[in-house]
């Protein structure tokens, strides 16, 4: 699975989902892209999932229509490493267009 980490995600956490190909928004050159544009770029470039901390993403965008699996993390940054096993599980369980909140 090809996974995109939003720019609000610490890049070091990619190791927590090492079974997947993980790229960051910044590495793709998409830093600063608004959510709608970011979702479109992710689709165009063959990403299957987006991992983000943006709580408003599903309220402002058509996630089912974009076809990406979306994992939204919430909580303090210091707790995020402990959530990565749950992120990996969510990526395996979600279908395209579904959202899961973890935190």
Q: What percent of the chain has pLDDT over 90?
A: 83
16-38 pLDDT per residue, tens: 787 789 999 999 999 999 999 99
Q: What is the mean pLDDT of residues 76-92?
A: 93
C-alpha 7/C-alpha 53 separation (Å) is 9
Domain boundaries, the chain: 2-102
Q: Which spans in 1-103 are helix H?
A: 25-28, 35-44, 57-60, 63-66, 84-93
Q: What is the mean pLDDT of residues 54-71?
A: 93
pTM comes to 0.93
Q: How confident is the model at residue 91 (pLDDT cuts 50, 70, 90)?
A: very high
Collapsed DSSP state (helix, strand, coil) of residue 33: coil
């Amino acid at each position: 699975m090809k996974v995109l980490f939003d720019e609000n995600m610490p890049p070091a956490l990619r190791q927590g989902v090492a079974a997947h190909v993980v790229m960051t928004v910044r590495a793709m050159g998409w830093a600063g892209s608004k959510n709608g544009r970011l979702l479109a770029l992710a689709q165009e470039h063959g990403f299957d999932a987006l991992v983000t901390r943006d709580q408003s993403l599903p309220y402002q965008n058509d996630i089912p229509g974009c076809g990406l699996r979306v994992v939204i993390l919430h909580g303090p940054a210091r707790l995020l490493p402990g959530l990565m096993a749950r992120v990996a599980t969510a990526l395996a369980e979600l279908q395209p267009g579904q959202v899961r909140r973890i935190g």
